[in-house]
Amino acid sequence: MLNTIDKDHPNYELTIKIFKEFKDESLIWIVDRWADKNDMSKMGVLKLINDRHNFKEIADYLEIEFKNSTPKNLEIFLENCYENKHKYILNEDLKFLEKDSRLCWAIINNLKYKYKEDIPRRYNFRNPYFSLIFLIHIELFNFNIQVDELRHYLKQISNKDNPVVFLSKYIENPEFIDWALKYTERKNRIITSPNFTPTNSNDQLEKLLGYWDFLYINDLQKYCIEINKLKKSWQQNIFREKNKENPKKYFHLPLKKKTKNHLEKLAHLKNMSESNVLEELINKAYEEYREYK
């Protein structure tokens, strides 16, 4: 069912044919081929698809374009689409990406890094799924990216050491996400996508994981060092906040395992709490130090 072209319009049947043959993900490369015919830049195409929130809105744009075309031009265009259809990844092979923004951003960041000489830095990616299809089917069309390469990224960010698993204890906490993003921005120069200003916790998480997934995939050694620093800094932050609430209750003194075992045994023998045993030992040692001095 068309919205603006009625059955009496000369382009009605051709438009119906196009939308019957090419749907959803295919519409993005259809837009590009139509835009190329009308001398629209790649940046213009990217903005056009990012400004639309779903495939229906892209179809609505195309319908208006087709309405204002001539039947002859539309027929030539349809034939051109038929001839080139085999060059693009099938819609069903891309569906595993559609609801996974994190995976889309991970692939976008790695494609930007791998093909940094071919992707303009000024590109502004906002819709992760649409932007990824734009890269695969339009900007990097000549590199013939295959679906197996895309699935490989899924395996990588699903490994047990990935950021979400490593930070699983905290990753659902909005306070942690806000703190971790500020920490990451303070410690590192974030140039990964998404690079827009977050407006909610989900945006913050996508930006945070965009950086850490990229580091995890491309520099595992640095990732292991830096993600451990982040985790320890957050744990220290928790202790500091708890000490503000109740310093006596939440004071934390890190001890080696052997020393900790000794402390537990002394506390049991003396029928005292571990903190009281420590206090007694420290005071006794200090008195001995004063007498010696």
pLDDT at 105: 98
SS3 284: helix
What's the one-letter identity of residue 38?
N
pLDDT at 249: 53
- When the pLDDT of each residue in the chain is averaged and rounded to a whole number, the result is 92
Q: Is 40 buried (19+), middle (13-18) or exposed (0-12) by CB count in 10 A? A: middle
Cα–Cα separations (whole angstroms), residue 244 to 21, 237, 249, 261: 64, 11, 10, 28
Q: Which two tokens stand for residue 138?
A: 């339009």
Tokens 């099938």 found at: 90
Spell out the alpha helix ranges (H) of 158-219.
Answer: 163-166, 174-187, 201-218
| CA–CA dist 103, 214 (Å, integer) | 11
pLDDT at 293: 58
pLDDT at 114: 96
Q: Calculate the CA 36 to chain-centre distance.
A: 30
List the one residue out of 90, 91, 133 whose CA is nearest residue 111: 133
- Cβ-contact 14, 75 below 8 angstroms: yes
CA 278, 279, 281: angle at the middle one, nearest 5? 65
pLDDT at 246: 60
pLDDT at 239: 83
pLDDT, tens digit only, all 293 positions of the chain? 788 999 999 999 999 999 999 999 999 999 999 999 888 999 999 999 999 999 999 999 999 999 999 999 999 999 999 999 999 999 999 999 999 999 999 999 999 999 999 999 889 999 999 999 999 999 999 999 999 999 999 999 999 889 999 999 999 999 999 999 999 999 998 999 999 899 999 999 999 999 999 999 999 999 999 999 999 999 998 888 777 656 555 456 778 888 888 888 888 888 888 888 888 888 888 887 777 65
Q: pTM of whole model > 0.85?
A: no
pLDDT at 218: 95
| CA–CA dist 50, 88 (Å, integer) | 20
Please, what's the largest Cα pairwise distance for the chain? Answer: 107
pLDDT at 274: 82
Number of neighbours of residue 179 by Cβ within 10 angstroms: 18
The phi and psi torsions of 190 (rounded to 5 degrees) equal -80, 115
Handedness of CA 113, 115, 117, 119 (dihedral sign): negative
- Cβ-contact 35, 94 below 8 angstroms: no
- R_g over Cα of the chain: 29
pLDDT at 247: 53
List the one residue out of 2, 33, 4 whose CA is nearest residue 17: 2
- Cβ-contact 185, 174 below 8 angstroms: no
pLDDT at 99: 95
List the one residue out of 84, 205, 105 whose CA is nearest residue 150: 105
